[in-house]
Amino acid sequence: MTTTEYEPNIVLSTTEYDVVGTRPIRPDGADKVTGRALYGADVNPTGLIHGKILRSPHAHARIKSIDTSKAEAHPGVLAVVTAEDLPGTKLGGTVDYGEGKQDLAYLRGNVMAGDKVLYAGHAVAGVAAANPHVAEEALGLIEVEYELLPPVLKAPDSMGGGAPVLLEHLRTEELGERTDRAGNIATHFRHTLGDLEEGFKDADVVVEREFNTQTVHQGYIEPQNVTALWNNDGRLHIWTSSQGPFEVRGAVASALDIPVSQVKVTPMEIGGGFGGKFPLYHDPIAALLSKKSGHPVKIVMTRKEVFEGTGPTPGSNMKIKMGATSNGKITAAHAYLAFEAGAFPGSPVGAAAMCVFAPYDISNAVIDGYDVLVNKPKSAAYRAPGATQAAFAAETVVDELAGKLGIDPIEFRLMNAAKEGARRADGVVHPRIGLVETLVALRDHPHWKAPLEGPNRGRGVAVGYWVNGSGPSACTISVNADGTINLTEGSADIGGTRASVSMQAAEVLGIRAEDVRPTVTDTDNIGYTSGTGGSSVTFKTGRTAHDAAQNVKEQMIARAATIWEISPDTVELDKGVFHSRTDPELKMTFSELAEQLNDTGGPIMGRSAFSPTGVGAAYAGCIADVEVDPDTGKVDVLRFTIAQDAGKAIHPSYVEGQMQGGAVQGIGWGLNEEYFYNTAGELTNGSFLDYRMPTSLDLPMIDTVIVEVPNPGHPFGVRGVGEVNIVPPPPALANAIHAAVGVRMYQLPMNPAAVMEALRQQK
């Protein structure tokens, strides 16, 4: 298929399979559309009571005292906890909670503040009561005496001398070396490639720009929730909405200083995460309240708490300088990336550095990265963390270079596109990647050539990179007598992975996707499975499902051989039918053999547990048409097309859904979303009404092109598809705004006020 004729959703398939690449109904669909699926807030064990969290109203303050006596005496209150109830801790211990590691002291310090509160919304105490209203009432009876300290909210302000210091003991780390530099810069690193100075000498055109982006939330619909039962036998059972149940188990055990075997985590259905549902927040508080009260305790955050008390993606300050020859070859690139970690170290600046120049083959590059503390919530992952901010800056400069050279922006990108064997700026060599194919898909799409008429309208293009991930995973399969299989996995299903994992097992066994019954189980009933992040599940758990199915296949072949009294070496499975290569009369379908298992040697189970390597990185690119209102600065998106290399789309509908969802989040980030703080560091738009995310009324239908450049590291060629789609929309919109009204945008969001200011400066 080519992209010369318009279709809203195109799949450029390169390999065909029987099940992989089809579009069956999702296994969890019936429960979800009928409202029977159980989410965290639906958990109601016997004796349940309810918890609420007291949060700091101040962005930066020392806690002089906390008096909980009135709250404890309040009728209906069953337990109160503060940071004093957490085990004491020193710096140095590390907790891996999925999409990032954190020092145990920082983890506990973020769960409940000790001697200082570091952001407005920082948890200070927890209360459990017979109902949530009494618990909330009791929060008002806790007396906290604060000594107010000045807050610092932006990386450039925080990095300078004289800035208020958040963590007095902090010293800047430089790749394993703890320097003697105090302040708010937690980490500085540098990547160098080639000779930057020589590279810029070779350039005929150089563009250098500074960019700023704001703090943005993932905006998942379901708020964080937890129910904890610290049972009489000493075991702690946690029901929660998390992307990483095993990481929750490990982090809770570490935070509470109990053995990991004493904690069981049951993952409930999850109403969105996008990276934000990895970190630990109120789970240890609920556990401690349960231990004190003897009851199971449920805590469900309000939307305000989600905004103020959980981890958004950080704001950033970036400087990009790039040079190119007059014939269009990029010769040098420099990036300065300062990312706001929030109150504790750990922004995604490392990932940003990995991604910022990854679309291009550049021989000379330097990247300086800084992880900077500010008085905002500790940042968390958000869909390709760090890559979107970096791409906004780099892709705007690339577009400006193309414009100055008079080269079509897609052709300019193709002229410099990274291919297999090219070296990223951090030195790592690209394996087989699909950027060129993605750019060609955009160039050949009818959208790119379609006329765009009328004043103040413009078209922009941009591309983005995401490294993708893997991790330990486990899968078991048991064969049912009717020829179906039960598949058990530990990967929380956020984006339809029950289906994409099941389909890979079905393909191996030659059965229908509908004949696989997938279950996402708790941490007691499957091997360690790393979290649903890094666009990893269809790759890693798909791989273990594939291998577990191979394990089943081998056993089924052996069983058929036993029944037929022939050598298993002569038996094959082809499209769900076992047959003998030597005797054409010997044939049996998968279900016919399954029916005989218990009478011919017993049940068959397959298993696979390992940490798959061979991750395939992903590229996406998009074309955006906009119209800018010159009187108000409002930007309307008229048409939007996104192309993405999926390696192989296991279930194309869910890949298209990821592409459309990521594009919409990128549009929201680009045009409107931001944490709006006052000078005291208080969030002033902590609701969905004021934190304006795009709705269907703000958007055109997002057209998709799935590009398939198979990843050689996966049996079906899978590349993770969940994240890279959010990366290119903000710069594509910025470039479209420039095409429409002639102004370059150097900040996110590009809301009406920002666009009007840019237009005013242009005049």
Partner 1 sequence: MATVFIPALMQNLTGSRQTVEVEGSTVRQIVENLDKAYPGIKDRLVEGNRLKSNISVAVDGEVTPLGMLERVGESSEVHFLPAIGGGSCAGVPY
Query: Is residue 234 involved in binding partner 1 (CB under 8 A)?
Result: no
Structural element, H or E, at residue 366? strand 365-373
Burial classification of residue 437, based on how many CB atoms lie within 10 Å of its CB (0-12 exposed, 13-18 middle, 19 or more buried): middle
Q: Provide the 8-state DSSP code for 41.
A: G
Q: Where are the alpha helices (DSSP H) in 244-323?
A: 245-256, 283-293, 303-309
Residue 231's contacts (CB-CB under 8 Å, 6 or more residues apart) are: 237
Q: How many CB atoms lie within 10 A of CB 605?
A: 16
- To partner 1, the closest distance from the beta carbon of 175 in angstroms equals 5
Q: Which is nearer to partner 1, 484 or 538 (CB)?
A: 538
- To partner 1, the closest distance from the beta carbon of 188 in angstroms equals 8
Subset of 158-197 contacting partner 1 (CB under 8 A): 173-177, 187-192
Q: Which two three-digit tokens encode residue 40?
A: 């965290």
Residue with tokens 């705004």: 737
Pick the stretch among 115-123, 302-310, 389-397, 529-537 that binds partner 1 (CB under 8 A). Answer: 529-537
Which of 80, 381, 622, 635 binds partner 1 (CB under 8 A)? It is 381
Pick the stretch among 52-60, 73-81, 157-165, 377-385 that binds partner 1 (CB under 8 A). Answer: 377-385
Q: How many CB atoms lie within 10 A of CB 226?
A: 29
**Binding track, positions 657-696, relative to partner 1; x by CB under 8 A:** ----------------------------------------
Query: Is residue 224 involved in binding partner 1 (CB under 8 A)?
Result: no
Which of 373, 485, 723, 748 binds partner 1 (CB under 8 A)? It is 723
Query: Per DSSP, what are the bridge partners of residue 656?
Result: none
Query: Is residue 349 involved in binding partner 1 (CB under 8 A)?
Result: yes
User: Quick one: three-class SS letters along 323-342?
Assistant: EECCCCCEEEEEEEEEEEEE
Q: Is the peptide bond between 245 and the residue preceding it cis, with omega within 30 degrees of 0?
A: no
Query: Is residue 315 involved in binding partner 1 (CB under 8 A)?
Result: no
Q: Which is nearer to partner 1, 434 or 534 (CB)?
A: 534
Q: In whole angstroms, what is the distance from residue 238 CA to residue 240 CA?
A: 6
Q: Which is nearer to partner 1, 293 or 544 (CB)?
A: 544
- To partner 1, the closest distance from the beta carbon of 168 in angstroms equals 20
Distances (CA, A) of 649 to 11, 17, 510, 537, 646: 8, 11, 18, 13, 6
Q: Which is nearer to partner 1, 3 or 243 (CB)?
A: 243
Pick the stretch among 10-18, 94-102, 521-529, 696-704 that binds partner 1 (CB under 8 A). Answer: 94-102
- To partner 1, the closest distance from the beta carbon of 192 in angstroms equals 4
Q: Which is nearer to partner 1, 43 or 367 (CB)?
A: 367
Which of 471, 483, 542, 668 binds partner 1 (CB under 8 A)? It is 471
Q: In whole angstroms, what is the distance from residue 67 CA to residue 94 CA?
A: 31
Which of 40, 385, 670, 730 binds partner 1 (CB under 8 A)? It is 385
The separation between the first and the last C-alpha atoms of the chain, rounded to the nearest angstrom, is 47
Identify whether the C-beta of residue 517 lies closer than 8 Å to the C-beta of residue 498: no
Distances (CA, A) of 192 to 325, 424, 718: 21, 10, 31
**Binding track, positions 480-519, relative to partner 1; x by CB under 8 A:** ----------------------------------------
Pick the stretch among 20-28, 256-264, 357-365, 381-389 that binds partner 1 (CB under 8 A). Answer: 381-389
Q: How many residues bind partner 1 (CB under 8 A)?
A: 61
Which of 32, 62, 64, 101 binds partner 1 (CB under 8 A)? It is 101
- To partner 1, the closest distance from the beta carbon of 463 in angstroms equals 18
Query: Is residue 306 involved in binding partner 1 (CB under 8 A)?
Result: no
- To partner 1, the closest distance from the beta carbon of 104 in angstroms equals 11
Residue with tokens 């413009």: 458
Q: In whole angstroms, what is the distance from residue 184 CA to residue 180 CA?
A: 12
Pick the stretch among 122-130, 222-230, 379-387, 601-609 that binds partner 1 (CB under 8 A). Answer: 379-387
- To partner 1, the closest distance from the beta carbon of 51 in angstroms equals 27
Which of 172, 254, 347, 751 binds partner 1 (CB under 8 A)? It is 347
Subset of 531-560 contacting partner 1 (CB under 8 A): 533-536
Which of 21, 386, 710, 731 binds partner 1 (CB under 8 A)? It is 386
Subset of 271-300 contacting partner 1 (CB under 8 A): 275
Q: In whole angstroms, what is the distance from residue 743 CA to residue 490 CA?
A: 49
Q: In whole angstroms, what is the distance from residue 688 CA to residue 102 CA?
A: 29
Query: Is residue 468 involved in binding partner 1 (CB under 8 A)?
Result: yes
Q: In whole angstroms, what is the distance from residue 187 CA to residue 160 CA?
A: 15
Which candidate, 482, 341, 457, 436, places its Cα nearest to that of 707?
436
Which of 167, 185, 354, 667 binds partner 1 (CB under 8 A)? It is 354
**Binding track, positions 35-74, relative to partner 1; x by CB under 8 A:** ----------------------------------------
Q: Which is nearer to partner 1, 33 or 91 (CB)?
A: 91
- To partner 1, the closest distance from the beta carbon of 101 in angstroms equals 4
Pick the stretch among 78-86, 329-337, 505-513, 527-535 that binds partner 1 (CB under 8 A). Answer: 527-535
Structural element, H or E, at residue 415? helix 409-416
- To partner 1, the closest distance from the beta carbon of 658 in angstroms equals 15
Q: In whole angstroms, what is the distance from residue 243 CA to residue 114 CA?
A: 27
Identify whether the C-beta of residue 736 lies closer than 8 Å to the C-beta of residue 460: yes
- To partner 1, the closest distance from the beta carbon of 179 in angstroms equals 10
Phi/psi for 440 (5° steps) reads: -65, -40
Q: Three-state DSSP class for 124?
A: strand
Pick the stretch among 283-291, 295-303, 528-536, 662-670 that binds partner 1 (CB under 8 A). Answer: 528-536
Angle between helices 387-405 and 729-741 (to 10 degrees): 40
Q: State the DSSP string of 479-527.
A: E-TTS-EEEEE----SSSHHHHHHHHHHHHHT--GGGEEEEE--TTSS-
Residue 81's contacts (CB-CB under 8 Å, 6 or more residues apart) are: 112, 125, 126, 285, 288, 289, 292
Which of 184, 470, 473, 541 binds partner 1 (CB under 8 A)? It is 470
Subset of 689-708 contacting partner 1 (CB under 8 A): none
Which of 351, 425, 503, 740 binds partner 1 (CB under 8 A)? It is 351
Report how far Cα 577 is from the mean position of its chain's Cα atoms.
40
Identify whether the C-beta of residue 706 lies closer than 8 Å to the C-beta of residue 700: no
Pick the stretch among 39-47, 60-68, 69-77, 461-469 that binds partner 1 (CB under 8 A). Answer: 461-469
Which candidate, 421, 313, 394, 220, places its Cα nearest to that of 675?
313
Which of 292, 404, 430, 607 binds partner 1 (CB under 8 A)? It is 430
Burial 370-393 (b: 16+ CB within 10 A, else e): bbbbbbbbbbbbbbbbbbbbbbbb
- To partner 1, the closest distance from the beta carbon of 248 in angstroms equals 15
Q: Provide the 8-state DSSP code for 478.
A: E
**Binding track, positions 586-615, relative to partner 1; x by CB under 8 A:** -------------------------x-xxx
Query: Can you give the binding site for partner 1, defined by CB under 8 A?
Result: 94, 96, 98-102, 173-177, 187-192, 275, 314, 341, 345-354, 366, 369, 371, 379-381, 385-386, 426-431, 467-472, 530, 533-536, 611, 613-615, 723
